[in-house]
Amino acid sequence: MKVFVMIGAPGAGKGTQAAILSERLGLPHVASGDLFREAVRLDTRLGREARRYMDRGALVPDSIVVRMIEERLDAPDAAAGVILDGFPRTRPQAEALDLALGRRGARVDAALYVGVPEEELVRRLSGRWLCRSGGHVYNEVSNPPAVPGVCDVDGSELYQRDDDRPETVRARLEQQLPPMYDVIDHYTTQGVLVAVDGGQPIEAVTDALLRAVAHPAGPGRSEAA
């Protein structure tokens, strides 16, 4: 089982990159935020619990997230591995993931950090649009669709997430950046962290990530241009 962890602040482009890597590496893209949004949409017990936190831009408690991810790791399509996106977001989640993978004879092969300066994150998030049917991601400034409001890939309607409003964006960054730095520390200590400059064009970030996963891990690597 090959396990890659994507790390990046909201808006860093890690979801976009995870989707591309998923296709290029043939591994499922497991995004904790997507799993929660699906649970909310289906109004499951998990969805109702998670929603209380998501609505205010807060993190869902670790115990709930870890349970959900463990279930996902045991799905048949995850047997060859996964690209985790949005999880782990805290040090306890990273430690829980190590244990869960250890029980399955696996480990995190590489933690891929897509770094982008904070002021750029706010600018990007406020311009983010998603498509209704496939979750394809656009940005008014850096990655606009050919026709405003319409998905290039499947023609469905584009919408803005409730938690991409500027006040919520700042709350999300304030709450989510400090634990993210703990997660980066965790994987730096393990020698599996790869830092990539997320300010580059999408293709350049992808190339840097693919170069990184093609080579065995070594401490303190940086694939930044």
Q: Which residues are catalytic?
A: 14, 89, 128, 161, 172
Question: 93 or 206, CB closer to ligand AMP?
Answer: 93
CB neighbour class for 65 (10 Å; exposed up to 12, middle 13-18, buried from 19): buried
| Residue of this chain nearest to ligand AMP (CB atom) | 33
Q: Pick one of 46, 57, 112, 194: the residue that binds ligand AMP (CB under 6 A).
A: 57
Q: Taking CB under 6 A as the rule, does residue 65 contact ligand AMP?
A: yes
Question: Which amino acid is present at 145?
Answer: P
Question: Which amino acid is present at 109?
Answer: D
Q: Is the dihedral of CA 187, 189, 194, 200 positive or negative?
A: positive
Question: 93 or 139, CB closer to ligand AMP?
Answer: 93
Question: 7 or 212, CB closer to ligand AMP?
Answer: 7
To ligand AMP, the closest distance from the beta carbon of 90 in angstroms equals 7
Number of residues lying near ligand AMP (CB under 6 A) = 17
Give me the residues paired with residue 44 across strands.
none
Q: Pick one of 1, 28, 53, 182: the residue that binds ligand AMP (CB under 6 A).
A: 53
20-45 CB burial, b ≥16 within 10 A, e <16: bbbeebebbbbbbbebbbebbeeeee
Question: 90 or 206, CB closer to ligand AMP?
Answer: 90
Q: Pick one of 19, 21, 87, 125: the residue that binds ligand AMP (CB under 6 A).
A: 87
- Tell me the window of 29-37, 102-110, 120-128, 198-206 that interacts with ligand AMP (CB under 6 A): 29-37
To ligand AMP, the closest distance from the beta carbon of 209 in angstroms equals 18
Question: 177 or 225, CB closer to ligand AMP?
Answer: 177
Strands of the 137-139 sheet, one edge to the other: 137-139, 128-131, 158-159
**Cα separation of 51 and 65, whole Å?**
12
Query: Which residues are within 8 A (CB) of 195 and not within 5 positions of it... i.e. 6 or more apart?
Result: 113, 115, 221, 222, 223, 224
To ligand AMP, the closest distance from the beta carbon of 126 in angstroms equals 14
Query: Which residues are within 8 A (CB) of 120 and not within 5 positions of it... i.e. 6 or more apart?
Result: 11, 199
Q: Taking CB under 6 A as the rule, does residue 113 contact ligand AMP?
A: no
- Interface residue list for ligand AMP (CB under 6 A): 10, 32-33, 36, 53-54, 57-60, 65, 86-87, 89, 93, 163, 172
